[in-house]
Each structure stands twice: as structure tokens, then as C-alpha cells.
Amino acid sequence: MAKPLIGITTNQFLTEGGIMAGTKRQFVSDAYIQAVFSAGGVPVLLPIIVEQAVIVEQLAVVDGLLLSGGGDIQPQLFGEEPVRELGKVLPERDMHELELVRLALASGKPVLGICRGCQLLNVALGGSVTQHLAEATLQHDQQSPGDYAGHNVVLEKGSRLAGLWGNTVMTNSFHHQAINKAAPGLRITARAKDGVVEAVEHETAAFGVGVQWHPELMITKYPAMLKLFTAFVNTAYRK
Ligand code: MN
């Protein structure tokens, strides 16, 4: 059986210093690539392009979709005006990823959303995001390195994630936003102890999971985090 191709969505930035200053670049953190590779998949980067016909072809060549982390989603996409604390938004990326999610779910391909990707999956299906976690009592924007597990997450009994890790799992935390209202068809299956939503699972898709933390940064120190990627990649195997 051929290894499944896993599309990873990309981010964008302007190069600041050096002779290429001002050049727009698209990129993704190496940790996502290594996590997919370690789980048995073939990572394929999906650059941000907002032409429908091209997005259709991008999705057609991959067997699974990984929505990577990044900046904030435009609040207008879930019917809100921006609050003062909203970070930088990238409308082209929002449009690209919303279309990829729609196509992936329509064609039965597995979707894994990480951090922003978890929120994006929720917005794509009609849910909303808390634009800034002003009320959260725990530290969700940790200052420690990515492989440091800062807070506990309680997993819903019987969920896919509980099947991987049991009742609780320690996670890192690099977010100032989180899912507010879960979309129809998505079940909240994990929360931090202050109530902040940390994961959702699609109720009917073969695999539709979003996690608010960054498991890809934890794999070396916490090998159990690889289980999420393995479950995802295994669902993507081509018949
Ligand atoms: Mn958190």
C-alpha cells in the first residue's frame, strides 16, 4: 500500500532583513512535516492560492488535510466585529483553508486541525471563536519552550482522544483564542480545567479532529503525542 499524501496548509510572512527584505514567503514549521513523516505519511505543503479550481486540484492530490497553526481568523467569518486584542489576520489564508476543509469533508478525507486549525475547522462548519481569552484563569500563552507541557486537559469519556490518551493529557499551550460556540456536527471532547475548549471531534466524518495545543512540538519528549498523527495518517490510507 502506498503511503498516504498529507496536505499541510501554509503560513505567510514578509522577510525582514537581508537582501531579500520585503519578499513574501510561504512556510510551515518543520515540526508538522516531521510529525506526518514519523506517522507514516508523505508531507505535501499546500501554498495559499485563492483560486477555486486550483484549491480543488490541491485537495484532489492529497489523502488527508492537516490545518497548521498560525494567526487569528477574521471574526467576520463567524459574524463578529474585531475586538481590540485581535491579532493579525490573513484573509487569503482563511479563504484557502475554508475551501480545503469543505472539499476534504465532502470527499471523506480525514482532517486534523492544530491550534488555529482547530478553530478554522470549527468556523468552517459554522461555529465561533473567542477572539481573546480575557476570562481564562490558566496560562494559555505559555512562555516556556514548545516541548513543555504546561496545563492539563480533561478528555471526554468515549471520545477518540480519550481512546488515545485516557482521561487526561498534559499539553503545551500557545493560544490567546479558543473555540466559543461549537459548530453543528462538532463535539467538544476536551477542556482545560478553566473551561477553555481544547479539542473538538466531528461526529460523522471518518476523521475530523481539532486540538488547541501543539502536539507536533511534543513528540520527542512525549512520544504518546505521535498517536494522534498515526490515527490521522492511518485513516488517510488509499484503498
Ligand atoms: Mn491551552
Q: Which pLDDT score, from 0 to 100, does residue 239 have? A: 54
Q: Which pLDDT score, from 0 to 100, does residue 1 have? A: 77
As for how many domains the chain has, the answer is 1
CA of 113 from ligand 1 middle (Å) equals 15
Q: Which pLDDT score, from 0 to 100, does residue 80 have? A: 98
CA of 177 from ligand 1 middle (Å) equals 9
Active site residue 118: no
Structural domain for 96, as ranges: 5-236
Rounded Cα–Cα distance for residues 174 and 213 (Å): 7
Active site residue 214: yes
> What pTM does this model have?
0.97
CA of 214 from ligand 1 middle (Å) equals 9
| Radius of gyration of the CA atoms of the chain, in A | 17
> Which parts of the chain sit beneath pLDDT 70?
239
Tell me the three cell numbers of residue 40.
507514516
Q: Which CATH number do you get for residue 208?
A: 3.40.50.880
How wide is the angle at C-alpha 192 spanned by C-alphas 167 and 162, nearest 5°? 25
